Structures are given as structure tokens and as C-alpha cells.
Chain A
Amino acid sequence: MRFKIIPILFLMLLAFSCKKKKIEEPEAPPTLQHGMLVLNEGLFQQNNATLGWYNFSDNAYTGNFFEQKTNRSLGDTGNDMKRYGGKIYVIVNVSSTLEILDASTGNSISQISMVANGTPKQPRYITFNGAKAYITCYDGFVDVLDTASLSITNRIPVGANPEGLTISNGKLFVANSGGLNFPNVDSTVSVIDLGSLQEITRITVGKNPGSIQADQNGDVYVITRGNYSSIPSRMHRINASTNTLAQSFTFDASGITAFNSSFLISYHDFSSGDNRIALFDTNTETITNPQYIPTSGIQTLYGIQYSTITNKIYCLDAKNYTVTGQVHVFSSNGIFETSYNVGLNPTSILIYE
């Protein structure tokens, strides 16, 4: 019967369609040098946060660096990455884990599950002081990690949904966003005494605090992100000695990056898509150059990092959030040098000599 050919053709089509494509990636180096580790946030519920390695020697990018080192994936929503001592600490927000890696090889030392009473703590950011690491958790606590034993030793209650944190004057300053209570967000910065590990006060700074950074003079600067419409995103200065709000600035700001004795103040306007990177003098408390870095080649400014190793400024570009991101490299004078293709929503980098 002439129609016998139809199902046969169909089954052949299915068989050819089932062929699986293999993903080829450059091999991860055994030791890390002359390159850059890139934490890519990925997207919510996609389990596609990645830790990639960019090799400056051959410009090859190993997107599955973490998989090659551990045979498993990083998880969902990589949020922060820092190097401290001989270890790298990676915060994975939705997976609610803290990954600890050997800083010289990238090999896994430990994975800590950040779960309290069956509820994921949703860690956000990490900072260090002495033998302790401090981790903001969205459940309203700062967790204290002993960096030697790698165990959580304390949980310090703070405000709602804490984000950024920084240390100054022997105190830990924590930005309480309250983002999950929108529109009734938090407006405070918690001040924690690092000796007693107790919250000693809260400073009201403005709606929806997020990024926070201390300068060399001991002042603490915090960004309040407002309500994304009528209340704008602004920077404020806290006197870390008196624990009081000292100054509120009137320029747009969404991120603070320490740059030698100054700050790079970044701003991405989600409505217009405009990006701005200003140079801020922490001594005079003024913007000395409103467009320190040209941003015409940046689509969505998602973060800035300055490396004292290379003396370069790295701008992280999330593009449209659903495609391969880029790291744009500028000289310390703000001159564009090159761009690297990395992973989905790059959020943090570590530079290796």
C-alpha cells in the first residue's frame, strides 16, 4: 500500500530529531591565574546560575567552570561572590546555599545549606571581618560564619529582607530593604556591634535600602531605591561614629563601588534604559565627574567592580536579562579597552594575576 511510506518517514524524522547535541566548553584550568572568575546570576527558577572562568591568555571562556570542578551545578540565582583569605564564598540566593571554594584552584571545599526550621533563608550578600563572615539573609537575619570551621555560629535579627552590608568603625551596617513587603518597604539601616553581635540601633535613611559601602574615612553610604516611580533612587551618608544620617544626596544612584579613595556611582534608568557612571569624591562629598565612564556600549549596567590587581574598571552588562551578558573593561581613567562575553546576568567577578 502506497501509504506505508508515510509512517516510516515520520518515524525516521523522529529518530533524527532525537539526536542530542553535545555542549563543548574549554577545559577549566587546574589552578587559577591570569583570568577572571565570573558569577552569573542566571534567572529565577531556571537553575542556571553559573560560575565561569575567562582566560585572559587565550580569551576563552569556560561557562561551566563550576560544573567541571564539582560535577554539579551552582543552582538558582547566584547573588554575590567574594574572596577572603584562601577561599571564595559564593552566595546562591534561591537555592539558599553558600558555596565555599579553594581560591587557588576553584575546587569545592564545602556547600552550606542556608535553611532555618525548614524555610530557606535566602542569603543575599556577604562581607568579612577577622575570622568571621557576615551574610544577610532575606528572612530578617545576618548569619555569622566562622571562616575556619565553616559553621554558622550566630543569627543576628535585623530589619526586613536585608540586602547589602558593610563594616566601619567596629560595626556592621546592614541595609534593610523590606522588599517583600512592597509597597510597605523598610527604610532603615541596622547597626550591629561586632563585639557583642547585637543590633544596637536602626537608622532611618529612606525607602528600600539596598547597596551600602564604607569609605576610607569611616563614613557609610547607602542607596535607597524608593518605590521605582514617584520616590527616586538616592544615596545617603551615615556618620558611623554617631550612627546618624548625616547627608542625603540629590543625584540618581543605584550602586556604589569603591575606587581608590573615591566612589564610582552607577545608575541605570529602567524606564529610559540610560546608564550613568559618575566619580564621587568622598572627601568633598561631591560628584567630580558626572560621566566618568562612557556608557554608550553598555545596554544594562548591572554592576561595577574595580580591581587593584589590574588597575582597571569592570562594568557588568546584563543586556536584556535573558541573553549572554558582557564584561566591559575600562582603564582607571575611564577609557574603554575591551569587552568579554560571559554568562547570563553577570553580577560579580574576581580577577586573578
Chain B
Amino acid sequence: MIITSCPVFGQEVNPIEEIVISPVSETGNSIQVELSKDKIQNKLANDLGQILSLLPGLQIKNYGDVGGLKTVSFRSLGAGHTALVQDRTSVSTTQSGQADLSSFPVDFIEKLELITLSPTRTQIPIHAKLAGVVVNVESVHSYVGTNQRNLIIGAQAGSFDQYESYLMLQKRGKKWGGTFTGKIRSYGGSYSYTYLNGNTTIKDRRENNSLLEYFGTASIQFSPNQHHQFQFRVSGNEYQKDLAGAVIFYNSNAAQYLNGYGLNGSVNHQFKKNRWNVFSSANYQKNNLQYLDSAYLNLQGYLDSRYYSGQFDIQSQAAYSITEKLELLIGSSFILEELKGKSLVGNPYRNTSESLLGIEWKAFGKIMAQIGAQGVFEKRDTILKSQWNLLPAVSWSFDLGSKNKIGIVYRYTCRQPSFNELYYQQIGNTKLRTEKAHIASIRYDLTLPFKKGVSQTMIQPFYSYVYDKILAIPTKNLFIWSIQNIGISDAFGVEFTELIQKKIKQHTLGMRINYTFQYTQDISDPLSPTYRHILSYSPLHSGSVELDYSWKKLSFFVLGSYLGERYALNQNIPSNLLEGYFLLDAGASYTQKLNKSELTLRLSVNNLTNKQYNYINYFVMPGTHFNIRLQYAL
């Protein structure tokens, strides 16, 4: 069915035969890399950002530990080009234009995919399909989910006063199904660290770094017959975070806080009959955010900035298989976004209308293509503005024998300026244009079965070109920066994934290697001292090696991850260079089956070598720390 396939990282305890190369069902209509549930759960990861760093081509900018801002960048495109989809819904990024991955726990994730193209896949929202790349998260609330449990309850404790507990209740009948998930987590966040101040090593302790956060989601599924499925889903979260920020030499008096909550409600319907597959959805998201600086030196003696954002979107996509070899999709969506806040100039809103025509044609291999039409309507400086963008994407993939596959992908994409970039006090610039990007890649897959094992290799060279890049520069004085369209950058590199698994009786051995090389350079101005310099926070090398072993009820993993040298600023001079670092994590899990239920104990130790490191300069990360989790499932 699929020609451009991918390594699918199977569950460690699965028999070898279940390591499939060609994805089944609708995921076959896309080009993606995915991570399975057990691979995710065994990590005892704090959030989605920690997990996504395991995927090739993705860079996670990490501004702190638990609760610290984490954003994702795909092939140096910037976070605004990555769409995050959770259970068929595009996560709202109305205010900042990027999703904070630290706000997404991974306890109930069933599957995680990185999708570069999916023109005829109905469950990926149109808005996401037009982005540079899609991170697709499916949880136990997904009505095609694989979860068979009725009850999951667990608790976790970890270093630096980290405590979590979570609960899932699920009941599925022939026509009706319902799921509830909830989680609470708290984090003290006071950990010791060392950093170099000149030639002096300073030992200090992280303060003002605590977190309290609640999550809850309820969903109801209804299938009146085999052709129709309805789902209603509501979710919410609330958080109170301290913002420790960057370590400032000689000044450890950070007193910033972030409080807020989010609400999300959606209803969707899927119709499948004969050659038709139709998916429709409506969704409303609301986010309230309060930023507090209790040491701000204005007349009030503190800064209290509050923002209220809302997003409503409605969409429908219909796919029709004309023949077994030819499938078409047509769809439209409409999105309304608004943001309110005293720090903003006006009350910005934006309406976006998007239509998509997708095709999958199994001829000369497989050809997938889509053309998206995007209309954006918003009021800027009291003038109603509209703009239209045509966003094409195409891929061609084919087999070279039974073990080799090759695919070529090209897409043109753009991102709208965020409301912060447009309207935030003096910083915002209402004259901004969209940031555009051309992305191209060639993917080679090799699958080699051997005795009681299989090896899967993916090599993917890529090139991207970004122009009208949206950057912040000083335009009023050094303290008042403004957002401008001034940048051009390009990036070339290669993503490499190697998966080897071998099963000997009840022993399963696995190894996974991810490596990304990328060279991302500033090509904005030949006269600039940073012309052809590597962009800030774009490491040339990054990757991970994971070894896992399972035997009966026990499984173990060792994960080594590396992030190479990078520059804190665009000028590639030694004083801006940040050291690369190598982190070593390890973990184990034990599962005891008790009739229909099972008890799982997981333990992980992160940063075994107590490496003192940071991804973003002076956002110090913790040394060796552990997590232990006990889970009961029925």
C-alpha cells in the first residue's frame, strides 16, 4: 500500500514479526516517522518536548527543566512552521505563534508521529497540513486508539520534589465509549548546578523554579453504525509556574511568575463508506495567561500582564478513492483567532480560510501532492487587510527492489506573524509580511531482515530556504526591539535513522540511532559580519543512541543523546560558542500481570554522568536525577 515508508519503532517486548515497515490504515497516506507508546512511556519523560528530541530533524529549544519553555524547530525553520496536532485538533498558538511543549504531558499518548506530507489523510487538520511539518499526537482519547484498558492509575516521584499522579477511566461499548484522563503534578525545582563565571566555577542552587499544574480531559464517542463515528471532547489545564529564567551573574533575585489556564472543546464526525472517507470537526480553544514580575521597577512596583486568547475553527475533509490507485481529497477550514491584553495595541483578531486539494496516485511508484489556498483576513492599523497564499507540496516515491525505497518531497509553506510579533507594545510591527519557506528532501529507506532480526535504515538529505524571515532587532533603542522581515537563511543537512532489532527466544535486543547534521546559515546581507555564519542555536550535529533489552517481564534501556556546539548569537566567534554535551540516561521497567490487570514499575535515571549543561545559554539544567513510577492498569 505504501511506497514511501518509515522505520516504525515497535514495542520492545513485541516479537520480531510485529516490527512492520509499511504502516497500515490511513497512516499509509503520509510520510512520517513515529514513536510507539511503550517507547514513550518507558522514558518517564516530563513532557512532549523531551520525547520529540528523539526524532530526527527536530531541535528542541529547552529553556529549563520541568515546566520550562520548550519549543520545537524542524530543519531550522523555526517553531512557527511546526504544527502540533493533538487528537485531530490543531493546538492553538494564537499569541506567540508556537506551542510550549512543556505543557503537554505524555502519560496517555498512544502514538507520536512526525509527518512531512499527508495530502489524503483526513484526520490531520488542513491548517496543520499546510505547515512545514506536523507533530501528530494521538492519546487514549483517539477513537482509533489501541488502548484496551478500562482503568489506569499511577503515581510518580522524582528528584527535586517532583510528584505526579494520574488516572484514566475508559469504557467502550459497541456504540458508545467514554474516556476520562486527569493528572496533577507538582515540582519544587530547587536543584544545584555549577557554571563557569570567567575562570571561576560557581556552585549555586536553582530558586524560584516550582510548578503546580492540573490537566483533565473527557471524551465521549458514539458510533450509531459502522459508517459513522462522533466524538465530543473537552479538556482543560491550569498552572502556576515560577520563572527562574536565565542565570544572571551576581543577581539571583528572579521574581517572575506565570499563571494561567486553558480550555478546549471539540466535536467531530467521521464517515466511512465504500470509497468515501469524510471527517468534519469544530473546535474552540481558550487560553488565559498572567505574567507577573513582582520586582519590576515601574511606579506600581510590579508588572501584571494578562492575556486572553481564543480560537474557533471548523473544517471538513472528504477523501474519495476513484480507483484503487487514485485517491482525491478536498477540504476546507475556517479559523477565527483573537487576543486581548493591556500590553497589546488594540484587540487583534484574524480570520483564516483554507482549502486543500490532495491527491495520491499509485503510478510510477507513488505520487502524492496537495495544493492549499490560504486566505488571511485581519485588521491592522484600523485597515482591514487580506492576503492569499498558494501552498503546493508534492512527493514521488518508488521501490528499488523489495528492500529499498526512495522518496522525494518538496513543499512551499509560510507562517503568519504571531499576534505578539504584530501587536505587543512598541515591539510589535503591524507591517510584517508572512515568513516563507521552500523545503525539499530525498528519503532513502533500506530494510534488511536477517536471522531473527531486522535492520531498518533511513537516510534523508534535505534543503530549506527561508525568506522574509521574521526577526527581532533594535529599532528604537537597545532596550526596545522590534520585529522585522529582514532575514534570509538556508539550511542543508541529512537525517539518519538506524533501527536494529533481534529476538532470541524470550530475549529482545534493540538499538536505535538518530543523527541529524544540519548547516543553517544567514544569507541575508553579503555585507553583514554574520553573512554565511551559522544561525544561533543551530547545532551542526545532534543525535541519540538507544539500546534496549527485554526479557519476559523486564525491560531496560540506555539512551545517550548528544547536542553539538552551537552559537548563542549569529556571529560565529569563540565568545558566542556554547559547548556541546552528551547526556546518558537509563531506565528499567517490570510488569507483573494479575489476571486481567497488570502492575508496572518503572525507574529512570537521567543525566547519569551529572553533566552540567544548558541548551539555551545560562538556562541551567539539572544534574543526575531519577524518577520512579508505579502504575496499575485494568
B564 beta carbon closer than 8 Å to chain A: yes
| Given the contacts A73-B197, A76-B251, A94-B248, A119 and B580 also touching, CB distance less than 8 Å | no
Residues of A contacting B627 with CB < 8 Å? none
How many positions in chain A have a CB within 8 Å of any CB in the partner chain?
68
User: Do residues A73 and B198 form an inter-chain contact, with CB atoms below 8 A?
Assistant: yes
User: Do residues B450 and A1 form an inter-chain contact, with CB atoms below 8 A?
Assistant: yes
A92 to B248, CA, bound (A): 11
Residues of A contacting B515 with CB < 8 Å? 10, 13
The contact of A71 among B200, B296, B579, by CB within 8 Å, is B200
User: Do residues A321 and B474 form an inter-chain contact, with CB atoms below 8 A?
Assistant: yes
Binds A, one of B102-110, B475-483, B595-603: B475-483
The contact of A179 among B245, B479, B529, B571, by CB within 8 Å, is B479
A47 beta carbon closer than 8 Å to chain B: yes
A195 beta carbon closer than 8 Å to chain B: no
| A37-59 residues at the B interface, CB under 8 angstroms | 41, 43-48, 50
The contact of B473 among A7, A21, A321, by CB within 8 Å, is A321
A321 to B426, CA, bound (A): 18
A72 to B201, CA, bound (A): 9
B373 beta carbon closer than 8 Å to chain A: no
Residues of A contacting B248 with CB < 8 Å? 45, 47, 75-76, 94-95
A345 to B476, CA, bound (A): 15
A285 beta carbon closer than 8 Å to chain B: no
User: Do residues A72 and B455 form an inter-chain contact, with CB atoms below 8 A?
Assistant: no
The contact of A46 among B200, B571, B617, by CB within 8 Å, is B617
A96 beta carbon closer than 8 Å to chain B: yes
| Given the contacts A71-B199, A113-B250, A120-B295, A323 and B543 also touching, CB distance less than 8 Å | no
Closest to A227 in B: B426
User: Do residues A95 and B299 form an inter-chain contact, with CB atoms below 8 A?
Assistant: no
A64 to B375, CA, bound (A): 52
User: Do residues B251 and A95 form an inter-chain contact, with CB atoms below 8 A?
Assistant: yes
The contact of B296 among A47, A118, A180, by CB within 8 Å, is A180
User: Do residues B299 and A181 form an inter-chain contact, with CB atoms below 8 A?
Assistant: yes
User: Do residues B297 and A122 form an inter-chain contact, with CB atoms below 8 A?
Assistant: yes
**Closest chain A CB from B291 CB (angstroms):** 15
A39 to B568, CA, bound (A): 20
User: Do residues A322 and B570 form an inter-chain contact, with CB atoms below 8 A?
Assistant: yes
User: Do residues B618 and A180 form an inter-chain contact, with CB atoms below 8 A?
Assistant: no
| Given the contacts A118-B253, A323-B571, A161 and B498 also touching, CB distance less than 8 Å | no
A6 beta carbon closer than 8 Å to chain B: yes
| B244-278 residues at the A interface, CB under 8 angstroms | 245-251, 253, 255
The contact of B476 among A3, A48, A120, A228, by CB within 8 Å, is A228
Q: Interface on chain A toward B: helix, strand, loop, or mixed SS?
A: loop
B513 beta carbon closer than 8 Å to chain A: yes
User: Do residues B513 and A324 form an inter-chain contact, with CB atoms below 8 A?
Assistant: no
User: Do residues A72 and B251 form an inter-chain contact, with CB atoms below 8 A?
Assistant: no
Q: Mark B493-516, 1 if CB is under 8 A from A, else 0.
A: 000001010000000000101010
Closest to A71 in B: B199
**Closest chain A CB from B249 CB (angstroms):** 4
User: Do residues B529 and A324 form an inter-chain contact, with CB atoms below 8 A?
Assistant: yes
**Closest chain B CB from A254 CB (angstroms):** 8
Closest to B500 in A: A3
Residues of B contacting A73 with CB < 8 Å? 197-198, 249
B468 beta carbon closer than 8 Å to chain A: no
A160 to B568, CA, bound (A): 33
Q: Mark A279-312, 1 if CB is under 8 A from B, else 0.
A: 0000000000000000000000010000000000
A138 beta carbon closer than 8 Å to chain B: yes
Which residue, A6, A23, A161, A318, has most C-beta atoms of chain B within 10 A?
A6
How many positions in chain B have a CB within 8 Å of any CB in the partner chain?
60
A71 to B200, CA, bound (A): 6
User: Do residues B250 and A161 form an inter-chain contact, with CB atoms below 8 A?
Assistant: no
Residues of B contacting A160 with CB < 8 Å? 298-299
| Given the contacts A14-B582, A118-B253, A228 and B297 also touching, CB distance less than 8 Å | no
A97 beta carbon closer than 8 Å to chain B: yes
B575 beta carbon closer than 8 Å to chain A: yes
Q: Mark A314-334, 1 if CB is under 8 A from B, else 0.
A: 000011111110000000000
Q: Mark A108-120, 1 if CB is under 8 A from B, else 0.
A: 0001010100111
Residues of A contacting B246 with CB < 8 Å? 45-47
User: Do residues B541 and A10 form an inter-chain contact, with CB atoms below 8 A?
Assistant: no
A283 to B577, CA, bound (A): 51
A89 to B299, CA, bound (A): 28
User: Do residues A319 and B529 form an inter-chain contact, with CB atoms below 8 A?
Assistant: yes
User: Do residues B569 and A270 form an inter-chain contact, with CB atoms below 8 A?
Assistant: no
Residues of B contacting A118 with CB < 8 Å? 253, 295
A225 beta carbon closer than 8 Å to chain B: yes
User: Do residues B251 and A119 form an inter-chain contact, with CB atoms below 8 A?
Assistant: no
**Closest chain A CB from B170 CB (angstroms):** 40
A18 beta carbon closer than 8 Å to chain B: yes
User: Do residues A23 and B197 form an inter-chain contact, with CB atoms below 8 A?
Assistant: no
B307 beta carbon closer than 8 Å to chain A: no
User: Do residues B199 and A67 form an inter-chain contact, with CB atoms below 8 A?
Assistant: yes
A27 to B481, CA, bound (A): 36
User: Do residues A95 and B249 form an inter-chain contact, with CB atoms below 8 A?
Assistant: yes
User: Do residues B198 and A70 form an inter-chain contact, with CB atoms below 8 A?
Assistant: yes
**Closest chain A CB from B349 CB (angstroms):** 23
The contact of A96 among B250, B455, B477, B565, by CB within 8 Å, is B250
A153 beta carbon closer than 8 Å to chain B: no
B573 beta carbon closer than 8 Å to chain A: yes
A17 beta carbon closer than 8 Å to chain B: yes
Can you list 21 A-B pairs with a CB-CB distance of less than 8 A? A10-B515, A14-B541, A14-B543, A17-B564, A18-B580, A47-B248, A75-B249, A94-B251, A96-B250, A97-B251, A119-B255, A178-B299, A179-B479, A181-B299, A182-B425, A182-B426, A319-B529, A320-B528, A321-B473, A321-B478, A322-B571
Apart from A6-B513, A14-B562, A97-B251, what 16 extra A-B contacts exist at CB < 8 Å?
A3-B498, A14-B543, A14-B582, A17-B562, A46-B568, A46-B569, A46-B618, A47-B248, A67-B198, A71-B199, A75-B250, A96-B251, A111-B250, A120-B251, A180-B298, A318-B478
Closest 4 CB pairs of A and B: A67-B198, A228-B476, A72-B198, A23-B574
- Interface residue ranges, B against A (CB under 8 Å): 197-200, 245-251, 253, 255, 295-299, 425-426, 448, 450, 455, 457, 473-480, 498, 500, 511, 513, 515, 528-530, 540-541, 543, 545, 562, 564-565, 568-571, 573-575, 577, 579-580, 582, 617-618
- Interface residue ranges, A against B (CB under 8 Å): 1, 3, 6-7, 10-11, 13-14, 17-18, 20-21, 23, 41, 43-48, 50, 63-64, 66-67, 70-76, 92, 94-97, 111, 113, 115, 118-120, 122, 138-140, 160-161, 178-182, 225, 228, 270-271, 302, 318-324, 344-345
